[in-house]
Structure formats: C-alpha cells, structure tokens
C-alpha cells in the first residue's frame, strides 16, 4: 500500500504516478498524508483505486474522477468531485462552492455542509449532503439526485431541468422554474437506494424529505415567461 507524504513528495509527482496506473494494477490502495490544502489532489483518476487523503484539501480534489473511491478526511475547497464520471468521493468535513459541479455519474457524499452552487449543472451524479447547502444549489441541474439532510439556501434548483432534489429541512427560496412536487413511493425508494450506496441508510426515514423539480416552463423561450429567465 503506497503511502505518500505531500510534505516530502511534490503533488505533481503524486498525480503523475496515479495517472500512470493501469486499470488492472495491484497498487489499488493509496494513502496521502499532509495534503495541507493542496489543489487538484487525486484529480483525473481513471482506475478502480481507493485513495485516502488524511487532511483538508484545496480546490478540485478528485475532479474528473472515474472508477476510484476517494476518502477526504477533512474539508474540501471549491469544486470537489467536479465533472465526476463514476466512483465514490466522500468528504468527512465541509465542502466549499460548486461541489459535484457538472458531475455525470458516481456518488459524492459530504458529511458536513456544502457552500453555494452545490451540484451546479449536474448531469447524472448523485450527491448526499448530511448538513445544509448554500444558495443557487442545483442551478441548471440536468440529471441526477441531490439529497440534503439539512436546509437549502436561496434559489434552490434555479433553471433546473430533470434532476431530482430531496431536502429534509427548510428551503429559503426556490429558483426560477423549480417547484415542490409530490413525494411518491418511487421517490422514497430512490432516496433509500442512494443512502444505501452512500453507506448511511437507516439514519433518516426517506419519507421525511420533500421533493423539488422542474415545472418545465423554461425548456423553450416563451415571451410570456421572459421575466423569469
């Protein structure tokens, strides 16, 4: 099991070594110490690895992740798991802005709070936030699921497409074309499945969440709705 101390090894050298690994590598478990808020740690992974980062990270940690499991034992800066394709990213602390932005697949779990624009333009990723999310979360969210145990800030789901938003707490305000929708059994089952995959099923009853999604009025420009754009 490779153990890398970023107080000694340059970050570029670490990422280079991770990128060179083939999908059938035997070096599947990596431990990274002393990240010290470094940027783009374990970004662009493309193999079924497990990477443990022992400490806080800067922006774009685990960005463009594919196949890998990345455990961040601390807080994460802007854009954690940005453009994620598959795999699992787990932040044990808080996350800054744009967590999971443009993600196309995989699952992002944040145990603390997420700042503004969590899940912006998400395209298939599933995001679970055990705390609250900031303003403009799920802005232009196209597909996937955002599950929030706490509260949501202003303009949740602004200009949303077909992503599904599940919030257990309060919502300060809904963005353009985002409305509350009925929480049917199929949606409770979906939340149950997501929480199971995130490893936190059983902590909260899926029926405690409310569902939000698109009113489908802004898909095409209509002069009657010009003031909503």
Those residues with Cβ within 8 angstroms of residue 8's Cβ, 6 or more apart along the chain or in another chain: none
3-state secondary structure of 191: helix
pLDDT at res. 229: 53
Looking up residue 34, the CATH number of its domain turns out to be 2.160.20.60
Average pLDDT over residues 166-178: 97
Q: How many CB atoms lie within 10 A of CB 186?
A: 7
Beta bridge pairs of residue 123: 143
Lowest mean pLDDT among 19-23, 99-103, 108-112: 19-23
Domain total of the chain: 1
pLDDT confidence band for 23 (50 / 70 / 90) = confident
pLDDT tens per residue across span 201-227: 777 899 999 999 999 987 665 666 666
Q: What pTM was estimated for this model as a whole?
A: 0.94
Domain span at residue 208 reads 3-228
What's the token pair of residue 196? Answer: 């199971």
Which strands, in side-by-side order, build the sheet including 69-72?
3-5, 29-33, 50-54, 69-72, 88-91, 107-110, 123-129, 143-148, 164-167, 210-214, 178-181
pLDDT tens by residue, 48-67: 999 999 999 999 999 999 99
Q: What is the pLDDT of residue 130?
A: 98
Q: Which of 34-38, 145-149, 191-195, 202-206 has the lowest mean pLDDT?
A: 202-206
Q: How many helices (H) and strands (E) does the chain have?
A: 2, 11
């Amino acid at each position: 099991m490779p153990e890398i101390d970023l107080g000694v090894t340059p970050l570029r050298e670490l990422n280079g070594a991770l990128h060179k690994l083939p999908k059938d590598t035997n070096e599947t478990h990596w431990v990274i110490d002393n990240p010290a808020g470094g940027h783009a740690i374990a970004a662009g992974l493309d193999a079924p690895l497990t990477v443990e980062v022992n400490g806080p990270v800067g922006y774009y940690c685990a960005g463009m992740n594919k196949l890998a499991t990345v455990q961040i034992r601390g807080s994460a800066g802007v854009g954690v798991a940005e453009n994620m394709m598959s795999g699992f990213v787990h932040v044990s602390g808080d996350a800054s802005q744009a967590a999971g932005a443009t993600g196309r697949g995989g699952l992002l779990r944040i145990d603390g709070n997420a700042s503004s624009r969590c899940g912006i333009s998400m395209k298939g990723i599933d995001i679970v936030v055990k705390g609250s999310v900031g303003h403009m979360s799920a802005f232009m969210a196209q597909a996937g699921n955002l599950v929030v145990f706490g509260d949501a800030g202003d303009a949740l789901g602004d200009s949303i497409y077909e992503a599904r938003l599940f919030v257990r707490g309060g919502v300060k305000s809904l963005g353009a074309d985002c409305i509350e929708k009925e929480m049917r059994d199929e949606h409770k089952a979906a939340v149950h499945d997501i929480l199971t995959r995130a490893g936190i099923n059983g902590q909260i009853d899926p029926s405690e969440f409310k569902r939000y999604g698109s009113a489908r009025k802004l898909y095409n420009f209509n002069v009657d709705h010009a003031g909503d754009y």
